[in-house]
Amino acid sequence: MSFSARIFAILLFFSCQSVFCQSSSPRFKVIAFYTGKNDQAHISYVKEALSWFPQAAATNNFLFEATKDWNNMNDDFLSNYQVAVFLDTRPEDPEQRAAFQRFMEKGGGWLGFHFSAFALSPSAYPQNWDWYHNIFLGSGQYKSNTWRPTSALLKVEDRRHPSVKGLGMKFTASPNEWYRWQNDLKANPDIEVLVSIDPESFPLGTGPKPHEIWHEGYYPVVWTNTRYKMLYVNMGHNDIDYEHKVDTTNSTLSFTFANKIQNKMITNALLWLGSRKK
């Protein structure tokens, strides 16, 4: 073989390798639902997520698509995907809720972030979906949160679970607004807590209100309901310059996906949800 022919063969080989992930069939398909309105911290996080997820999909050979049209929450549309992601909110229409429940009961996968589990009566997001909040998530209503958004040292509860594989015993999360829930998740036999706030994080939060600073307690932040293919993560609230100390545009002061260890957990979760059987 001539020198030029060898060079051509080598270039052809690497060209084929570079397009393999794009041309081969995806391992599974993910659809993310989002609203992206109201709180600037949630809007900032959603924009960041919509940039990060396609990169993770390209690296790990799965298909990622996103929509803010919640009317797509129906049986026909969901049948095209193996995993649904709630980036910030939940469906409100009864028919959409029923379609999501059927999707999960038929073995679909779900990954939910932060505000997707929020419910408080009375509020704009009341607890009016018992299956989702009390049975599926197990958390019940929102009770309180830390403030300002701060990072926390987190403890891995079960290092054998695929979603936390390779994270070690503890890791530091991106700054976040941490939630406390109505129900005791540890008392629910269907719930497996995977990550919780390590006591070394206390005091957690800066206030200014005293109840916004946690000094003790047990707070799950990542868990799964073993009756479903699901995982909830409490992360998903960037820190924002609400006081305009930097400028007048509510600048983002922290980023959820600027954390390699936390990103590894989210990627692990997606690969687990997309590949495991019920």
Contact status, residue 173 vs residue 201, Cβ threshold 8 Å: no
Is the residue at 19 inside a domain?
no
The predicted pLDDT at position 247 comes to 73
Q: Is residue 120 part of a domain?
A: yes
- Given a cut of 50, whether residue 14 has pLDDT beyond it is no
Is 142 within a domain? yes
Q: Which residues constitute the domain of residue 93? A: 27-273
Average pLDDT over residues 260-275: 97
* Inside any domain, residue 17: no
- Residue 38 sits in a domain of what CATH number? 3.40.50.880
Confidence of residue 249 (pLDDT cuts 50, 70, 90): confident
What span, in angstroms and rounded, lies between the C-alpha atoms of 20 and 12?
A: 12
pLDDT band at 15 (very low <50, low <70, confident <90, very high): very low
Report whether pLDDT(153) > 60: yes
Query: Residue 206 and residue 194: Cα distance in Å, rounded?
Result: 26
Residue 278 lies in a domain: no
Q: What is the mean pLDDT of the chain?
A: 92
Number of domain units in the chain: 1
| β partners of residue 252 | 240
pLDDT at 246: 75
Stated pTM of the model = 0.90
> What is the DSSP code string of 199-228?
GGG-SB---SSGGGSB-S---EEEEEETTS
Q: Among 22-36, 62-76, 219-233, name the one with the lowest average pLDDT.
A: 22-36
Which range is least confidently modeled, 14-18, 48-52, 150-154, 187-191?
14-18
pLDDT of residue 277: 58
**Confidence band, pLDDT 50/70/90 cuts, at residue 38:** confident
Assigned domain for 134 exists: yes
Answer whether residue 70 shows pLDDT above 50.
Answer: yes
Lowest pLDDT segment from 75-84, 193-202, 234-243: 234-243
209 lies in a domain?
yes
- Tokens 């980036």 belong to which residue? 87
Average pLDDT over residues 97-118: 98
Q: In whole angstroms, what is the distance from residue 82 CA to residue 273 CA?
A: 8
pLDDT tier for residue 8 given thresholds of 50, 70 and 90: very low
Specify if 194 maps to a domain: yes
